[in-house]
Amino acid sequence: MKVAVFSTKAYDRQFLEAANSRNEHDLVFFEPRLNRDTAILAAGFPAVCVFVHDQADATTLEILASRGTRLLALRCAGFNNVDLKAAAELGITVVRVPAYSPYAVAEHAVGLILSLNRKIHRAYNRVREGNFSLDGLLGFDLHGCTVGIIGTGKIGQILAQIMKGFGCNLLAYDVYQNPELEALGAKYVELSELFPNSDIISLHCPLMPETHHLINDKAVEQMKSGVMLINTSRGALIDATAVTKGLKSGKIGSLGMDVYEQEADLFFEDLSSAIIQDDVFERLIMFPNVLVTGHQAFFTENAISKIAETTIANITDVEQSRTCVNEIRAEPTKVLVG
């Protein structure tokens, strides 16, 4: 099948070409994101392949459909950027990659925890400048501290296993209880109990109306003084203004985030010569106890290979009119990002 691949980075090309080594499909790579202005690039392509910041709204889908597109293949799990209802009405099949490597994301969360705790990001810079002072680098033993995990699905479960290995106590919150967590000794509690009793809080639930700004002023108020907050899930789980206030008052001791509510304007691009206009983001990254990575938690060889292989297999399934287990339809769902 002829596939227009949008938002292509060098690594997308490398891994998709490897997954397509038998040349099952004719992949044509485009750097721009898909939106209503760029959709014309896909004229004559029966399949279009997109990532998290591409916009497949109704207008964009109409342009695609009118020029022959019949398949939208997402190389990600979340589908908040796709108007599924419009796709169904236009006869466009939508497929995704529901899971690739929960280890990649959980391990990145652990990386943020260790760096923030032992101030490795600051030590790296100091040593390069010949400053070997330890002032300001004091950390704490993870052994014996309490980790509150919000969302105990695939990624939350792996994080729980790793933190158990450090000798941490585990508190958990989820709308469903995962027996694997209970087997590790985790205690399921309400958020009102998790917030004040956790030394570290890590978010692993999807973004939905119920979880939008889950971390707000009220939540920060309930947290332990000096808490470490980690978000590798979706940016809008956190109200950035509320956590900025929490960081200024010292209530939040440190913040690690791989995702940010307004990240679509920033992440995945080299803006090192630009003046960033987002003052909330700029304030956050100025704190010495804040560590931000640009949505890279998923970015391991294992995960990218799996994404590429599943994407190619999804396209083949649809081309050969086989049932694709990764097809998503406009069923009523409240999940905005997963």
CB 86 within 8 A of CB 36: no
Q: Who's near 248: CB < 8 A, 6+ residues apart?
A: none
Selected from 121, 154, 187, 213, the binder of ligand NAD by CB under 6 A is: 154
Q: Does 294 bind ligand NAD (CB under 6 A)?
A: no
Residue 60 is a binding residue for ligand NAD (CB under 6 A): no
Q: Where does this chain touch ligand NAD (CB under 6 A) — which range of 42-50, 149-157, 242-250, 274-282?
A: 149-157
Instruction: Check residue 110 for interaction with ligand NAD (CB under 6 A).
Output: no
State which residue, 155 or 252, has the beta carbon closest to ligand NAD. 155
CB-nearer residue toward ligand NAD: 132 or 176: 176
CB of 279 to ligand NAD, least distance (A): 24
How many C-beta atoms lie closer than 10 Å to residue 301's C-beta?
A: 11
Identify whether 263 is a catalytic site residue. yes
Identify which of 224, 245, 233, 194 has the alpha carbon closest to the alpha carbon of residue 112.
233
Please pick, from the candidates 16, 48, 82, 105, the single residue that binds ligand NAD as defined by CB under 6 A.
105
Catalytic residue among 25, 53, 204, 295: 295
Sign of torsion, CA 316 321 325 327?
positive
Does the active-site annotation cover 234? Answer: yes
Does residue number 326 form part of the binding site for ligand NAD (CB under 6 A)?
A: no
CA 38/CA 41 separation, integer angstroms? 6
Which of the following is catalytic: 75, 108, 234, 261? Answer: 234
Residue 230 interacts with ligand NAD (CB under 6 A)? no
In three-state secondary structure terms, 186 is coil
Site string for ligand NAD, 246-265 (x = CB under 6 A): ------------xx------
Q: DSSP characters for 44-69?
A: T-SEEEE-TT--B-HHHHHHHHHTT-
* Contact between 337 and ligand NAD per CB under 6 A: yes
Report helix, strand or coil for 127: helix
Please report which residue ranges of the chain form alpha helices under DSSP H: 10-19, 58-66, 84-89, 102-118, 120-128, 154-165, 179-183, 191-197, 217-222, 240-249, 279-286, 301-319
Of 218, 216, 267, the closest CA to residue 238 belongs to 216
Which of 87, 95, 102, 219 binds ligand NAD (CB under 6 A)? It is: 102
232 is an interface residue for ligand NAD by CB under 6 A: yes
In the bound complex, what is the minimum distance in angstroms from residue 19's beta carbon to ligand NAD?
19
Q: How many residues bind ligand NAD (CB under 6 A)?
A: 30
Q: Please, what is the minimum distance in Å from the beta carbon of residue 235 to ligand NAD?
A: 9
Q: Give the whole-angstrom CA distance, residue 118 versus residue 138.
A: 7
Exposure string for 14-34, b = 16+ CB within 10 A, e = fewer: ebbeebbeeebbebebbeebb
Question: Residue 250 region, left (φ>0) first, then alpha (ψ -120 to 50), else beta?
Answer: left
Among the candidate windows 40-48, 150-158, 238-246, 313-321, which touches ligand NAD by CB under 6 A?
150-158
Report the nearest approach of ligand NAD to the CB of residue 304 (Å): 11
Active site residue 36: no
- CA angle, corner 23, sides to 19 and 27, nearest 5? 80
Residues 187-226 that bind ligand NAD (CB under 6 A): 204-207, 210-211
Return the residue of 3, 61, 155, 229 that touches ligand NAD, per CB under 6 A.
155
Q: Would you tell me which residues interact with ligand NAD (CB under 6 A)?
A: 99, 102, 105, 150-156, 173-176, 204-207, 210-211, 232-234, 258-259, 295, 297-298, 337-338
Cite the active site residues.
234, 263, 295
